[in-house]
Structure 1
C-alpha cells in the first residue's frame, strides 16, 4: 500500500468537499496510520499554517462533527507547497522521496497534458501512480493524446481514471442485485425489459463552477462522464469475477455494442436545453446565460438527453435513455428499469396493471419495485410497492476510491481504451449539436416536468 499522496490543485472544491473528508474517513476506519504523508500543492501563495487553517475549516464543514481528533490529525499532518502543476521543477521536490507516490490531479482537464508531461520530467519513483479526475479529455482525439502521454510516464496499471459514481453503494448494488439473485438475472434482457432510464436531475445550479461547467455542459459533465459508466454496469454480461480485467472487459463490451448514431438519429433521439430565470424552493434563480462566469455565446446546455440502443443478443430492442439536468424543481437521481407489460390479464375490467419498474435510487441510496396486486378487500387491481433503503457504507464514495488507489486495486478505474470508447459513443451527438442540428430549448428554473 502506498503511504504518500500528493494532491495538485489542493485549494479547489474537489479537495475541500471530497478528498480531505475521504482521507478523514479512511483515518477514522483505521486505513491510514501516523506514517501517512499528505502533500498538497497549488498556485496560491499560502503558508503551511494558512493551508492547515483552511483545511480545518473544510473538514469542519464537510466531515462528521464528532471526528474532532481525526480531522485535526489530517489537517495537522498536511504539508503545503506553492507550485505550478505544469512545471517539472516545481513538481520534482513534491514527488521525491523513498518509495512510490500517488499523485492526484484535482485540476481542470485542460491542464492534464502539461501536468503529465511535467510529472514525466520530474522522475516519479518506481511504482508511483497517477490519478486523473474525469472527464478524461474533451473529445476522442484529446483522450487518445492523453493516453499516449500517460503511456510515456507510467504503465497502464498505474493510471487511475476515477469516477466516484462507480464507488456509490447503489451503483455497485445494480450488479449485486442482478448477479446474486436468480429471480432477476433470467429477466435481465430485452424480452422482458422495454426501457432503462438513467437519470441525474438536480435542483442545484452552477454553485460557483461556471469556469468548468460552461466549457463542458451537461452532455460532457454528466452523460459522458458518469452516466455511461452506470449504463455499463446495468447492461454488461456477467463477468467471471469482479477483478480488474474481467470487470473492465465486460464494460467495454457494452460501449462497443452501442449502435452508432447518425445525424438523423441525433435529431430524433437527443435533446438539449438550458434554464431560464425561475424559482426553486424559496430562492430566485437567474437564467443560466446571466450566471456569473457564463459566456452566453457558447450556448452551453444545462440539460441533455440521449437515447441509445445496444446491438447485442441480450439488449436488441431495449431503449436506454440517459439524461441529466440542472436547476430543476426536484432531485431525481436513479436508474429506472421498466419491464414490458404482461401479455394477458384475466381480471376483466377490474383495473389496469402498470408495467413493473425496478428503481435504484442513487441519492439517497434506495431500491423500489413497483408491482400490481389486488386491493385490500376487493378484486380490483391496485399498485403495490416494495422498497428498501441501503445500509450506509462505512466509507464515502471517494473514501473507497482513495483506498483502491493506495492499495493498487484498479477494478473501478476506467481503462484507457474504455475512456476512448466512451467518447466514440457521443462524438456524433457533439458534432450534430455543434452544427445546431438539434435546437437549444429553454426551460424555467424550477420546472417539475421533464425538461
Structure 2
C-alpha cells in the first residue's frame, strides 16, 4: 500500500470539498494510520502551518462528521510546498524519492501534459501512481495525445483516470441489483426495457465556478464522462468478475456499440440550453466571470441507441442541467407495457419503472396492483434505502489508488471511446446545427419538443 500522497493543485476546491474529507474518512475507518503522509503542492506562498490552518478549516466545514481527533491526524500529516507543477526541478525538490507516491493531479486538464512530463522528468519511485481528474483532455485529439504521453512514461496499471461517480454507493448497488437477482437479469434487454433515463438535474446554479465551467459546459462536464460511465454499467454484458480487466472490457464494449451520430442525427437527437433569469438567480450570461461569446450550455441532452444483441429498440436518454426547479439525480429503467390487459372497462396500467436514486441514495420499483375490488388498478411502490456507505466516493477512489486497484478507474481506450461518442455532438453544436435554447432558472428546463 502506498503511504505517501502528493496533491498537485492542493489549495483548490477539489481538495477542500472532497480530498481532505476523503482522507478523514479513510483515517476514521482505519485504512490509513500514522505512517501515512501527504504533500500539498500549490502556487500560494504558504508555510506548513498556513496550509494546515486552511486544511483544518476546510475539514471543519466539509467533514464535520469526521471525529475531531481524526481531522487533526490528517492536518498533522500534511506538509506544504510551493512549486510550479510544470517544472521538473521544482517537482524534484518536493517529491519523496525513497518510496512510491500517489501523485494526484487536482489541476485543469489543459496542464495535464506538462505536469505529467515534469513528474516523469523529476523521477517518481517504482510503484508510484498518477491520478488524473476528469475531464480527461478537452477533445478526442487531446485524449489520444495524453494517452500516448502517459503510455510512453508509465505502465497503464499505474495510471488512474478517476471518476467519483463510479464509487457512489448506489452506482455500485446498481450492479448488485442487476447482476445478483435472477428476477431481473433475464428481462434486462431491449425486449422488455423501452428506455433508460440517466439524469443529473441540479437546482444549484453556477455557484462561483465560472473559471472552470464557462470553458467546459454541461456536455463535457457531465455527459462525456459521468453519465456515459453510468450508461456503461446499466447496459454492459455481465462480466466474468468485477476485476479491473473484466469490468473495463465490458464497459468498453458498450461505448463501442453506441450508434455513431451523424451531424443530422446530432441535430435531431441532442439539445442544449442555458438558463435565463428566474427564481432570484441571474441569467447565466450575467453571472460573474462568464463570457457570453463562449456560448456555454448549462443544459445538455442526448438520445443514444446501442447496436448490439441486448438493446435493439431501447433509447438511452442522458440529461443534465443546472438551475432547475428540483434536484433529480437518478437512473430510471422504464419497462415496456404489458402486451394484453385482461381487466374489464377502460383501464390502463402505468409501465413499470425501476429507479436508482443517486443523491440521495435509494432504490424503488414502481408496479401496478388492484384495489380490494380487484378491477380497479392502482400504483404500488416497493422502496428501499441502501445501507450507508462506509466511505464517501472520493474515499473509495483514494483507497483503490493507494492499494493499486484500478477497477473503478477509466482505461485509456475507454477515455478515447467516450470522446468518440460526443465528438459529433460537439461538431454539430459548433456549426450551430442545434439551437441554443433558454429556460428560466427555477423551471423544469427547456419546454418539451
Do these two structures clear the TM 0.5 threshold for a shared fold by scoring above it?
yes
CA displacement, residues 27-74 of structure 1 (integer Å, 9 cap, x when unaligned): 000011101011001001111111111000000011134510000110
Aligned runs of 1:122-201 on 2, under 5 Å?
Answer: 122-201=122-201
1:419 counterpart (390, 415, 419): 415
CA distance in 2, matches of 1:269, 1:124: 46
Report if the CA contact (8 A) 1:198-1:321 is conserved: yes
Q: What SS is found at the alignment partner of 1:254?
A: helix
CA displacement, residues 93-142 of structure 1 (integer Å, 9 cap, x when unaligned): 22233111100000011110110110111011111100000110011000
Report if the CA contact (8 A) 1:51-1:80 is conserved: yes
Report if the CA contact (8 A) 1:350-1:381 is conserved: no
CA distance in 2, matches of 1:408, 1:325: 34
Report if the CA contact (8 A) 1:17-1:62 is conserved: yes
Greater shift in the superposed pair: 437-446 or 41-50: 41-50
CA displacement, residues 201-260 of structure 1 (integer Å, 9 cap, x when unaligned): 001111121111111100000000200000000000000000010000000000000000
Query: Who is 1:361 aligned against?
Result: 357
How much has 1:375 moved relative to structure 2?
A: 2.0
Change (3 A) 1:382 1:67: same
Aligned runs of 1:282-431 on 2, under 5 Å?
Answer: 284-349=280-345, 351-377=347-373, 379-431=375-427
How much has 1:390 moved relative to structure 2?
A: 1.2
Report if the CA contact (8 A) 1:351-1:382 is conserved: no
Query: Who is 2:225 aligned against?
Result: 225
Change (3 A) 1:66 1:429: closer
Report if the CA contact (8 A) 2:344-2:375 is conserved: no
Unaligned runs of 5+ in 2: none
How much has 1:267 moved relative to structure 2?
A: 1.0
How much has 1:350 moved relative to structure 2?
A: 5.5
Query: Who is 1:34 aligned against?
Result: 34
Q: What SS is found at the alignment partner of 1:73?
A: helix
Query: Who is 2:10 aligned against?
Result: 10
How much has 1:378 moved relative to structure 2?
A: 5.2
Q: What SS is found at the alignment partner of 2:408?
A: coil
Query: Who is 1:236 aligned against?
Result: 236
Report if the CA contact (8 A) 1:95-1:125 is conserved: no
Query: Who is 2:262 aligned against?
Result: 262
How much has 1:339 moved relative to structure 2?
A: 0.3
CA displacement, residues 270-295 of structure 1 (integer Å, 9 cap, x when unaligned): 0000000111xxxx111000111111
Q: What SS is found at the alignment partner of 2:10?
A: coil
Report if the CA contact (8 A) 1:350-1:380 is conserved: no
CA distance in 1, matches of 2:13, 2:332: 31
Greater shift in the superposed pair: 24-33 or 203-212: 203-212
CA displacement, residues 363-411 of structure 1 (integer Å, 9 cap, x when unaligned): 0000111100002455200111111111101100000000000000000
Q: What root-mean-square deviation, in Å, do the aligned CA atoms of Structure 1 and Structure 2 show?
A: 1.0
- The TM-score normalised by the length of structure 1 is 0.98
